[in-house]
C-alpha cells in the first residue's frame, strides 16, 4: 500500500452527536434515498448543496403519484383528471404563496428556475422601463444569471450596468451601494445570498435605499430560500425569484414573485397557450395573473414536487434548518481553517451554508478529484460567478455547501480528505 | 476503482510544482491562448518555429496540477520536433488520455508522456491533460482566438 492510500486517523472528532434545532439528523437522512448509496466504496458525503440539493422520498412520491394517478393537462379539460391535476397544481401555487408570504397566489409565477425568473423581468419590466443611458445596479456578488440577462438588456437599450463593490470579507459596501443609486437607476438586481462565498446581504436596507428613490428591486433568492425565512411583504421587494431544485424539489421548476401592480403593467414574456384569454388573427387579449406569464403547458409535476418540498421543509421548520446549518458552517469553518495553508474566501459576518476555500499550492480542481475518491462531493471552479473570483484574485475555489441532512461527522470526513490532499501534494 | 496514484504520479506532481519552459518567448512567431471555463485553467503557449521545426517553446498561465504538468512535459518533448511530429504526438497523446485503442509503437513515441495514461480513468480530467495540446494546435494553425475546451 502506498503512503497515499493509507487512511488517516480521525484526529478531529465532534464532542458529541449533534441534535441541534430539535431534529434528529440521522433520522432525517433516511428520508433521502440517494444518501444511502456508497460512492467508490465509501459512504456518500454530499456537500454540493448550493449546486443542487437531494430530494426526500416525499417529493419523489408526490411526483410519481401525480404521473401514476393525476396526470392531465391543466386549466382546460372538463374531465375529471384535468380537474384534479389543476387543483393539485394550483394548491402548489398557494403553498408557495404562504411559504414566502406573498399577498396573493396570483403573484406567484411558475418558471423553469431562478434564471428564467430574472430573464423574464429583464425582458418585460426591463425592456419597457430601461432606456439609453439608464442604469441597472447589481452587486459584485452576483451569479452569472443575475449579470448576463442585464447585459443583454444593457446592450439592446444602450443602458449601463453598475456594480456595487464588496470588502475583502465579501460584505457588500452599503455606502458605496447607496452612492451608485443615481437618478438614472431604473432597477436594482441583487442576490440574497452569494452562491460562491455565502455572504448574506443586508437586503432590507438595500430595498429601503432603492425605494427612497422609487427604484424597484429584484432579488435572486436561489441560495436564500433553502436557508432562511423569506417574507416578501416584510422585505417589500418588488420581485423575488428562486429555484425548486435547491430547496429539495425537482429541477426545471422555479418561482418568480412580483407585486401585482408591477406584473399587471408588464407585457407578457412569451406567447402561447394558457397566457391568453382570446385570440383572433387581429388581436389577442392576455390572460390575467399569473397565467399571463405562463405560456404553454406548465411543468405540472414540477410544481407539485415543489409543493411537497415546501411541505417537507415547513414540517421541520426553516428556523430549525437554519440553526442546524449554521452550526455546521461554524464547525466546518473552524476545522477547515485549522488546517495549514488554508485560505477561506468569504468571511462575512452574515453567512449561510457555504464554505469556499483555497488550499496553498493545490488547484481546487485537484482538491475536488482527490475528495471524490473519498466519496466526498464538493464543487470546484468559479461557481458561475467569475467576477467574484476576479474580486478575490483566485481562478477558482473549492466549495463545501451544507443542507439539512449534513452532519458534523461529514465535516470531519471532509477535513480528513483535505489532509489527504495535502499528503498527495506534500 | 481508479487509484489516485495512477493520476497523480510523482513525475506529474514534480512538473506541476516546477514546470519547465514556464516563460514567455520573446522570439515566438506563433502563440495561442487556451482556456478551460469549467475550472478556470488558462495558458498561453509560445512557439518559435524555424521552417517546420520547433526551435523553442514555452508556456505561461495557471491551472491544476494535471494541466500544468501536461503543458510542461509537452514543451520538453516538442523542442526540436517538426510541426508534423507535434500534431502526430498530440493525436497519440489524445488516444492515451481518453483510453482509446493505441497502435503499436504509440507508447514508445510518447516516451515520458506515458505517465498520463492514468487520466483515462478520470474522464473529467481529460480536458485538463489536453488543454496545452489544444492550445499548441491553435498556435501552429496560427489562430488568434482563444481556444476553449468547452
Q: Do A366 and B65 touch (CB under 8 A)?
A: yes
In order of B19, B38, B39, B42, the CA distances from B149 in angstroms are 21, 8, 10, 10
Query: What local confidence, expressed as pLDDT, does residue A40 receive?
Result: 84
Query: What local confidence, expressed as pLDDT, does residue A22 receive?
Result: 63
- Could you give the percent of chain A with pLDDT greater than 90? 90
Whether the pLDDT of residue A288 is over 90: the answer is yes
Q: Do B62 and A395 touch (CB under 8 A)?
A: yes
Architecture of domain B4-145: Alpha-Beta Complex (3.90)
pLDDT 10s digits, A124-158: 999 999 999 999 999 999 999 999 999 999 999 99
Any catalytic annotation for residue A237? no
Which domains are present in chain A? 20-30+317-424 (3.90.1150.10), 59-315 (3.40.640.10)
The domains of chain B are located at 4-145
Which H/E stretch holds residue A357? Answer: strand A354-359
How far is it, in rounded angstroms, from Cα B33 to Cα B49?
A: 17
B61 confidence band (pLDDT: 50, 70, 90): very high
pLDDT 10s digits, A342-354: 999 999 999 999 9
pTM of the model: 0.91
Contacts of B122 in chain A (CB under 8 A): 369
Q: Which of A366, A387, A393, A425 to mutate to test the interface with B (most CBs of B within 10 A)?
A: A366
* Helical ranges in A317-392 per DSSP H: 318-337, 364-373, 386-391
Query: What local confidence, expressed as pLDDT, does residue B150 receive?
Result: 66
Beta carbons of A91 and A307 less than 8 angstroms apart: yes
How far is it, in rounded angstroms, from Cα B32 to Cα B137?
A: 9
Q: How near does any CA of chain B get to the CA of A381, in Å?
A: 5
- Whole-complex ipTM: 0.88
Local structure of A169: helix, strand or coil: coil
pLDDT 10s digits, A200-256: 999 999 999 999 999 999 999 999 999 999 999 999 999 999 999 999 999 999 999
Active-site option among A384, A386, A394, A419: A384
Give the lowest-confidence range in A11-20, A80-89, A282-291, B91-100: A11-20
Query: What local confidence, expressed as pLDDT, does residue B50 receive?
Result: 93
What cell was used for A47? 456537500
Query: What local confidence, expressed as pLDDT, does residue B37 receive?
Result: 81
* Helical ranges in A17-168 per DSSP H: 25-29, 57-65, 80-100, 114-121, 127-129, 148-157
How far is it, in rounded angstroms, from Cα A183 to Cα A268?
A: 27
Contacts of A370 in chain B (CB under 8 A): 4, 8
Contacts of A366 in chain B (CB under 8 A): 8, 64-66
Beta carbons of A344 and A195 less than 8 angstroms apart: no
Amino acid at each position: 500500500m502506498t503512503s497515499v492510500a493509507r487512511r488517516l486517523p480521525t484526529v478531529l472528532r465532534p464532542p458529541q452527536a449533534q441534535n441541534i434545532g430539535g431534529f434528529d439528523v440521522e433520522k432525517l437522512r433516511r428520508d433521502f434515498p440517494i444518501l444511502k448509496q456508497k460512492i467508490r466504496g465509501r459512504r456518500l458525503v454530499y456537500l454540493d448543496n448550493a449546486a443542487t440539493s437531494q430530494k426526500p422520498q416525499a417529493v419523489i412520491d408526490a411526483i410519481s403519484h401525480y404521473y401514476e394517478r393525476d396526470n392531465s393537462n391543466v386549466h382546460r379539460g372538463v374531465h375529471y383528471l384535468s380537474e384534479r391535476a389543476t387543483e393539485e397544481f394550483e394548491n402548489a401555487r398557494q403553498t408557495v404563496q404562504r411559504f414566502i408570504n406573498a399577498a396573493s397566489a396570483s403573484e406567484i409565477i411558475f418558471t423553469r428556475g431562478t434564471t428564467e425568473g430574472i430573464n423574464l423581468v429583464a425582458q418585460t419590466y426591463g425592456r419597457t422601463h430601461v432606456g439609453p443611458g439608464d442604469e441597472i445596479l447589481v452587486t459584485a456578488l452576483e451569479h452569472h444569471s443575475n449579470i448576463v440577462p442585464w447585459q443583454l438588456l444593457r446592450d439592446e437599450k444602450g443602458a449601463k450596468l453598475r456594480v456595487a463593490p464588496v470588502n475583502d470579507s465579501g460584505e457588500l459596501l452599503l455606502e458605496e451601494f447607496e452612492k451608485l443609486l443615481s437618478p438614472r437607476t431604473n432597477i436594482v438586481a441583487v442576490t440574497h445570498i452569494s452562491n460562491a462565498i455565502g455572504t448574506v446581504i443586508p437586503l432590507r436596507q438595500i430595498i429601503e435605499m432603492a425605494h427612497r428613490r422609487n427604484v424597484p428591486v429584484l432579488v435572486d433568492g436561489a441560495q436564500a430560500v433553502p436557508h432562511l425565512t423569506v417574507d416578501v411583504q416584510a422585505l417589500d421587494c418588488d420581485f423575488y425569484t428562486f429555484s425548486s431544485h435547491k430547496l429539495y424539489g425537482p429541477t426545471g421548476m422555479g418561482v418568480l414573485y412580483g407585486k401585482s401592480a408591477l406584473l399587471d403593467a408588464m407585457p407578457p414574456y412569451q406567447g402561447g397557450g394558457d397566457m391568453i384569454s382570446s385570440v383572433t388573427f387581429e388581436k389577442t387579449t392576455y390572460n390575467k395573473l399569473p397565467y399571463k406569464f405562463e405560456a404553454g403547458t406548465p411543468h405540472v409535476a414540477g410544481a407539485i414536487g415543489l409543493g411537497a418540498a415546501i411541505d417537507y421543509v415547513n414540517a421541520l421548520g426553516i428556523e430549525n434548518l437554519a440553526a442546524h446549518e449554521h452550526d455546521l458552517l461554524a464547525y466546518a469553518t473552524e476545522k477547515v481553517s485549522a488546517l495549514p495553508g488554508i485560505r477561506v474566501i468569504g468571511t462575512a459576518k452574515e453567512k449561510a451554508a457555504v464554505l469556499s476555500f483555497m488550499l496553498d499550492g493545490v488547484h481546487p480542481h485537484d482538491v475536488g478529484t482527490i475528495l471524490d475518491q473519498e466519496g466526498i462531493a464538493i464543487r470546484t471552479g468559479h461557481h458561475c460567478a467569475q467576477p467574484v473570483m476576479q474580486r478575490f484574485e483566485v481562478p477558482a475555489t473549492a466549495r463545501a455547501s451544507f443542507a439539512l441532512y449534513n452532519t458534523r461527522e461529514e465535516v470531519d470526513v471532509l477535513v480528513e480528505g483535505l489532509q489527504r490532499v495535502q499528503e498527495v501534494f506534500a | 476503482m481508479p487509484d489516485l496514484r495512477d493520476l497523480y504520479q510523482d513525475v506529474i506532481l514534480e512538473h506541476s510544482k516546477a514546470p519547465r519552459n514556464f516563460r514567455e518567448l520573446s522570439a515566438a512567431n506563433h502563440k495561442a491562448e487556451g482556456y478551460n471555463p469549467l475550472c478556470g485553467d488558462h495558458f498561453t503557449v509560445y512557439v518559435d518555429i524555424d521552417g517546420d521545426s520547433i526551435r523553442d517553446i514555452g508556456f505561461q498561465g495557471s491551472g491544476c496540477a494535471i494541466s500544468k504538468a501536461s503543458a510542461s512535459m509537452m514543451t520538453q518533448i516538442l523542442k526540436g520536433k517538426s510541426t508534423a511530429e507535434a500534431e502526430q504526438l498530440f493525436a497519440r497523446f489524445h488516444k492515451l488520455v481518453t483510453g482509446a485503442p493505441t497502435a503499436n509503437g504509440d507508447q514508445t513515441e510518447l516516451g515520458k508522456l506515458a505517465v498520463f495514461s492514468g487520466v483515462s480513468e478520470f474522464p473529467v480530467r481529460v480536458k485538463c491533460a489536453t488543454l496545452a495540446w489544444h492550445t499548441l494546435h491553435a498556435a501552429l494553425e496560427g489562430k488568434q482566438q482563444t481556444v476553449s475546451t468547452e
